[in-house]
Amino acid sequence: MTPPRWFLLALCALVPAIAWRLGGPSLWYAHVLGYGAAAALAAWALAQDDQLKAALKPRSGDPSLGLLPALVLFGLVSFFVTRALAPLPELRVYTPDGAWVGRANAHGLQAAAEWLRAHALAAMGRGAAIQGGARVAFVLAIAALEELAWRGGVQQGLSERFGSTRGWLLASGLYAVAQLGTLNPAPALLALPCGLLWGAMYRYRGGLAPSILSHAIFSWALFAHNSSPFLLR
Residue 112: per-residue pLDDT: 67
Residue 113 makes CB contacts below 8 A (sequence gap 6+) with: 84, 85, 88
Residue 83: per-residue pLDDT: 67
Give whole-number Cα distances, 45 to 55, 71, 158, in Å.
12, 31, 13
Instruction: Decide: 166 and 58 in contact? Cβ < 8 Å.
Output: no
Structural domain of residue 210, as residue ranges? 3-231
Q: How many helices (H) and strands (E) does the chain have?
A: 10, 2
Instruction: Decide: 122 and 184 in contact? Cβ < 8 Å.
Output: yes
Number of domains in the chain: 1
Residue 98 DSSP SS3: coil
Q: Which amino acid is located at 81 in the chain?
A: V
pLDDT in tens, the chain (233 residues): 677 788 999 999 999 999 988 888 899 999 999 999 999 999 999 999 899 999 999 988 899 889 998 989 888 887 776 666 655 555 454 455 545 555 555 556 566 666 666 666 666 667 777 778 888 899 899 999 999 999 999 999 999 999 999 999 999 999 999 999 988 888 888 899 999 999 999 999 989 999 999 999 998 887 654 444 333 33
**Can you give 26-91 as a three-state secondary structure string?**
HHHHHHHHHHHHHHHHHHHHHHHCCCHHHHHCCCCCHHHHHHHHHHHHHHHHHHHHHHHHCCHHHH
DSSP code at position 93: E
Instruction: Decide: 35 and 142 in contact? Cβ < 8 Å.
Output: yes
What gap in Å lies between CA 117 and CA 124, rounded to an integer? 11
Residue 229: per-residue pLDDT: 39
